[in-house]
Homo-oligomer: A and B are copies of this chain.
Amino acid sequence: MATVPLLKDEEVSAEALAVFDEIRTARGTDYVNHFWRALAHDPATLRATWDRLQVVMAPGALDPLVKELLYVAVSVTNGCDYCIHSHTAAARAKGMTDAQYGELLAVIGMAAQTNQLVTAMKVPVDAMFDVGGGKT
C-alpha cells in the first residue's frame, strides 16, 4: 500500500532522473530505493532532500556510522517503519556489528523509559543544566 505510485525511470522528469543518477553514482549501485521513487512525484523536494542529506550525513565531526545510528534512533522513536528498515540496513552496510546493534537498542529502550518517568513526574530542570538561553 502507498499513497503515491513508485515511479520507474521512464516515468520521472529529467530533473528527477538527474537525482537518481547522483544516487546511483554515490552508492555504486543501479538500485534506487522506494523512498526516492515515491518522492520523484515532486522533483523540487526530491532535489532538496537529496542535496541536504548528502551534506548532513557526510563525514564530519561525527563519523558516518554514528550519524546512521542516530538516524535509526530518531526513526524508531518516530515509529517510521520504512526508515527503520532502510537505516538499519545502512548502518549494517557501514559496519555496525551485532554488539553495537544490541547496545543501540538498549540505549533507545532505556531512554524511552526514563523519558516517560521524567515526563510523568514533570521534574523541574536543575539550574546547573541551563546554559543561559533565557538571557537575551
Copies of this chain, complex-wide, total 6
Q: Which residues on the B side are within 8 Å of A5 (C-beta)?
A: 131-133, 135
A118, closest chain B residue (CB): B82
CB <8 Å contact, A84 and B119: yes
Residues of chain B within 8 A (CB-CB) of A120 are: 3, 72, 76, 84, 88, 104-105, 108-109
Whether B6 lies near A111 (C-beta < 8 A) is no
Q: Are B1 and A129 in contact (CB under 8 A)?
A: yes
- The answer to whether A26 has its CB under 8 Å from any CB of chain B is no
Binary contact track A109-136/B, C-beta < 8 Å → 1, others 0: 1111111111111111110111111111
- Give A contacts to B, CB under 8 Å: 1-6, 8, 31, 33-35, 37-39, 41-42, 44-45, 48-49, 52-53, 55-57, 60-62, 66-67, 69-89, 97-126, 128-136
Could you show 5 A-B contacts with beta carbons less than 8 Å apart?
Answer: A6-B124, A45-B106, A85-B130, A86-B126, A112-B115
